[in-house]
A and B are shown apart, each in its own frame.
Chain A
């Protein structure tokens, strides 16, 4: 009786062990599959298809710029931060990222003019279309914009998937709420990878805790411009939370851009400004943040 009991317990332990071994094997197989998939589709860092953000220091932090053929998330606090104003103009040249040999290698297309012909830019947002005069001011050809206004999160996920999968878009810009789960986003990431479409998702900051397959994840916070240049300049603090293939820098970046094409300070002035910006912080008016430096957008590039 006792012996039988012991053997039963033993076989139970063995079964448990076997389960653990199997589980481990499964995990390994899954990991292998994932790496194999990565090397086939080529993750953004490996294939190096990037769209420069317009801010040299940010490009450096991101390994070259926005990751083409991947999700890029920007977590933005509140309205009117200026994140879109800072980042959107670069998307007018999104098609140029397709021209490079890196993109051609990853997506089996011939490098050159054909791949680099401008395609659609899709704006997929439940409520608000972008204000066309502002887009025109940012240098966009309005004919390239396709504006989609889905009714709800489900329709939005569907529309995003369709747009990313179609290959008809250079970039897809969307305000993506926290309602979209990890699985839905992973699906979108695969769609973007398959066609080499750049996806820029603007998300609320509470999404920072949720898992996401995005290749790039930034947190953008509005920062007031110094009073003397307020009329022409804007500032935005950007923290790289994650970037595939890069070590996220510990300090946030302060981006500064001008709306006036004639307002173009020399690099030396910029360095001085960075120091001054940090000095501003040192007097402890707001908080004790420090920045790595001030990145300035080169206008008319």
Chain B
């Protein structure tokens, strides 16, 4: 399948300019600008005079190539074999994947709709060989074909000039025979020869003996015909998608308003979703940079700083809608100071998507709740900070203060920490003696009177002495020699005269008493 692309951008009046000698001239325009009278070849100053709202961008082949490569990556949803076929053109090997889309025709229409959604108009040709597909994509849709191909849109009754063209079967020749030979994009020599021979269609060209044709039109043209018919193989280099997701989106008008930014970000997020789907990964963390107007051209000193928004969903996700909601919460709180002209989305952490199988049946029921829960976590984290909205994990460690972990929701259970223990091990830790619900970050030194066995007898605090009754203890804990924070303690649960229960320990190396929490 071959596709040639033109960017639509119909609503904006935009022209691309390039330097021609000493003049800056327009080389391409959008349809809207063309309606205002702007034509290729016009000087930029004249074009501006014709159309006040015209936005002129420098033609930048390197940028076009980048955009094309990104587009190619997104076309990977249709087939793993995508070839960038010169500026503005792609080749897709769809023979092996068409059945997933209910046939080649349906796939071609789906690809066209997909590209249209992204703002590109694609002319698509489907044929058995790359050259034939290219020729079909290039060929004008003639009147006869309108009827044959169903290019006449039955709904609107209008002629669809860009309808996909098909050459069914293994031999593309019959479908191509009726097309004008100009669709082959012959070089100058071949075109002159075809004219002088009085040929009209590709059929006429194919009918001629190859030897004579090679003499008149040159060997490259004959080779092209051979590739067209599949007699000669064509080497193609398929694209390899980049490891790191890093996409930019330039806005045609610099914006500050949140809705406009969200609209633009949606395109990026959808690209991200497609990319994650392709990799079978889920997003843990990404950064979105809002590049303000003039940043690209200004010197470093005067350049306005580009706000960077870190997007860290509470659970690994692919959903563009969820990322968009997250960004919306952020934009509600952070004002965009300068007009933004470019958005850049970079993945900083992704993880393989957990197997969906185990969730198959619960998914439908849980989805609404999961979304509620994720939205709640995200909203809390946006205002309070990620470190203040956490989940609880158990860690297998004998030192009470190391027996748990406050886990940020971003670092999900997908990356199970080495020391984390599951629910089964929780039962085992329950046997280790009662633990207080209220454990203090830092144990506080207390003044304890002890009996002759060394057990706590009374607590001296604020000038008062409170008798203690031993509930449990001692529970001896010696651990941590391996990380330098070793502890050798004897824990006691005691009850005060008021009935309150405290968790005390005797640090056996310092021979000092501490309170580590309360059974609240």
Cβ–Cβ < 8 Å partners of B497 in chain A: 224
User: Is A247 part of the contact surface with B, judged by Cβ < 8 Å?
Assistant: no
How many chain-A residues does the 8 Å CB contact rule pick out? Answer: 55
Kindly identify which residue among A136, A159, A230 contacts B394, using a CB–CB cutoff of 8 Å. Answer: A136
Interface residues of B, dominant DSSP: mixed
In the bound complex, residues from chain A placing their C-beta under 8 Å from that of B426 are: 133, 136-137, 142
B464 to chain A, nearest CB (A): 13
**Contacts known (A78-B500, A131-B435); A168 close to B373, Cβ less than 8 A:** yes
Closest-by-CB residue of A relative to B385 is: A151
Residues of B within 8 A of A138 (CB): 437
CB distance from B458 to the nearest CB of A (A): 15
| A114→B469 CA distance, assembly (Å) | 48
B520 lies within 8 A of A132 (CB): no
- Contact digits for B478-520, partner A, Cβ 8 Å, 1 yes 0 no: 0000000000000000011111111000000000000001111
Q: Does the CB pair B400–A231 fall under 8 Å? A: no
CB-CB < 8 A to A80: which residues of B? Answer: 436, 438, 496, 500-502, 518-520
Instruction: From B373, B376, B413, B502, name the one whose CB has the most chain A CB atoms within 10 angstroms.
Output: B376
Instruction: Say whether B392 contacts A147, CB under 8 Å.
Output: yes
Q: Of A133, A222, A223, which one neighbours B403 at CB under 8 angstroms?
A: A133
Residues from chain A with Cβ under 8 Å of B499 in the complex: 81-82, 221-225, 235
A222→B498 CA distance, assembly (Å): 6
Q: Do A131 and B390 touch (CB < 8 A)?
A: no
- In the complex, the answer to whether B383 meets A158 with C-beta atoms within 8 Å is yes
State whether A136 and B429 are in contact (beta carbons under 8 Å apart), knowing that A224-B495, A230-B471 are contacts in the complex. Answer: yes
How far is it, in angstroms, between the C-alpha of A120 and the C-alpha of B366 when the chains are bound?
12
Q: Shortest beta-carbon distance, B389 to chain A, in Å?
A: 5
With contacts A133-B403, A162-B379 taken as known, whether A79 is within 8 angstroms of B393 at the C-beta atoms is no
Q: Tally of A-B residue pairs with Cβ under 8 A? A: 166
Task: Find chain B residues with CB under 8 A from A114 CB.
Answer: 365
> Using a CB-CB cutoff of 8 Å, which residues 107-144 of chain A contact chain B?
114, 117, 119-120, 128-138, 141-143
In-complex Cβ contact of A130 among B403, B437, B471 (8 A): B437
Give per-residue flags for B348-378: 1 if the beta carbon is below 8 A from chain A beta carbons, else 0. 0000000000000000011001001101110
Alpha-carbon distance between A85 and B435 when the two chains are bound, in angstroms = 10
CB contacts under 8 Å to A, within B419-453, are 423, 426, 429-430, 434-441
Nearest CB on B from A254, distance (A) = 11
- Least distance between A261 CB and chain B CB atoms (Å): 11
Inside 8 A of B465's CB, which chain A residues have their CB?
Answer: none
Say yes or no for B35: interface residue by CB 8 A criterion: no
Q: Which residue of B lies closest to A234 (CB)?
A: B501
Q: A168–B495 contact, CB under 8 A?
A: no
Given contacts A117-B369, A147-B391, A159-B384, contact A132 B434 (CB under 8 A): no
Decide yes or no whether A88 CB sits under 8 A from chain B: yes
User: Do the beta carbons of B437 and A85 come within 8 Å of each other?
Assistant: yes
Q: What residues of chain A lie closer than 8 Å to B517, measured between beta carbons? A: 131
* Contact A129/B436 with A117-B365, A148-B384, A162-B376 known, Cβ cut-off 8 Å: no
Tell me if A224 and B403 are in contact (CB < 8 A). Answer: no
**In the complex with contacts A120-B373, A231-B471, A88-B393 CB distance below 8 A:** no
Q: Which one of A146, A158, A223 contacts B376 once the chains associate, using CB atoms below 8 Å?
A: A146
CA–CA, A84 to B435, complex, Å? Answer: 13
Which listed residue, B379, B389, B392, touches A135 by the CB 8 Å rule? B392
Please judge, given known A-B contacts A82-B520, A85-B520, whether A231 and B436 are in contact too, CB under 8 Å. Answer: no
Select one of A119, A162, A169, A227 contacting B469, CB under 8 A.
Answer: A227
Q: Tell me the bound Cα distance from A158 to B391 in angstroms.
A: 19
Q: Does A150 contact B (CB under 8 A)?
A: yes
**Which partner residue on chain B sits nearest A143 by CB separation?**
B391
Known: A117-B365, A128-B438, A147-B391. A82 touches B519 (CB 8 A): yes
A155-B380 Cα distance, complex, nearest whole Å:
10
Task: Name the CB-closest residue of B to A83.
Answer: B520
Alpha-carbon distance A32/B406, docked complex (angstroms): 48
What is the 8 Å Cβ interface bit string for chain A, positions 230-248, against chain B (1 contact, 0 not)?
1100110000000000000
Q: When chains A and B are docked, how far (Å) is the Cα of A146 from the Cα of B406?
A: 10
- In the bound complex, what is the Cα–Cα distance between A76 and B438 (angstroms)? 14
Cross-chain contact A84 with B437 (CB below 8 angstroms):
yes
With known contacts A78-B500, A81-B520, A133-B394, A166–B376 Cβ distance under 8 A: yes
Please state if B472 and A131 are interface contacts (CB–CB under 8 Å).
no
Q: Return chain A residues, CB-CB under 8 Å to B389.
A: 146-149
- Bound Cα distance A150, B403 (Å): 23
Chain A CB within 8 A of B388 CB: yes
Chain B positions within 8 Å of A78 at CB level: 498, 500
Which residues of chain A are within 8 angstroms of B245 by Cβ–Cβ distance?
none
Residues of A within 8 A of B406 (CB): 129, 147
A119 touching B365, Cβ below 8 Å = no
Q: How far is the CB of B136 from chain A (nearest CB, A)?
A: 53
Partner of A224, one of B369, B390, B469: B469
* Docked-complex contact A133 and B400, CB < 8 angstroms: yes
Q: Which of B322-350 contact A (CB under 8 A)?
A: none
Contact A84 B520 (CB under 8 A): yes
In the complex, whether B120 has a CB less than 8 A from a CB of chain A is: no
What does the 1/0 interface line of A46-68 toward B look like (CB < 8 Å)?
A: 00000000000000000000000
Please tell me if B159 contacts chain A, counting CB pairs below 8 Å: no
Q: Give complex CA distance A114, B366 in Å.
A: 9
A interface residues with partner B (beta carbon < 8 Å): 76, 78-85, 88, 114, 117, 119-120, 128-138, 141-143, 145-151, 155, 158-159, 162-163, 166-169, 221-225, 227, 230-231, 234-235, 259
A-B contact pairs, 23 of them (CB 8 A): A80-B518, A80-B520, A84-B438, A85-B437, A117-B369, A131-B400, A131-B435, A131-B436, A131-B437, A133-B426, A134-B439, A136-B430, A138-B437, A141-B423, A142-B391, A145-B392, A146-B377, A149-B388, A150-B384, A150-B388, A224-B499, A230-B495, A234-B501
List chain B positions with a Cβ less than 8 A from chain A: 365-366, 369, 372-373, 375-377, 379-380, 383-384, 388-394, 400, 403-404, 406, 413, 423, 426, 429-430, 434-441, 469, 471-472, 495-502, 517-520
Told that A78-B500, A142-B426 touch, could you supply 14 new A-B pairs with CB distance under 8 A?
A76-B520, A80-B518, A84-B438, A88-B437, A119-B373, A128-B441, A129-B406, A130-B437, A131-B438, A133-B400, A166-B372, A222-B501, A225-B495, A227-B469
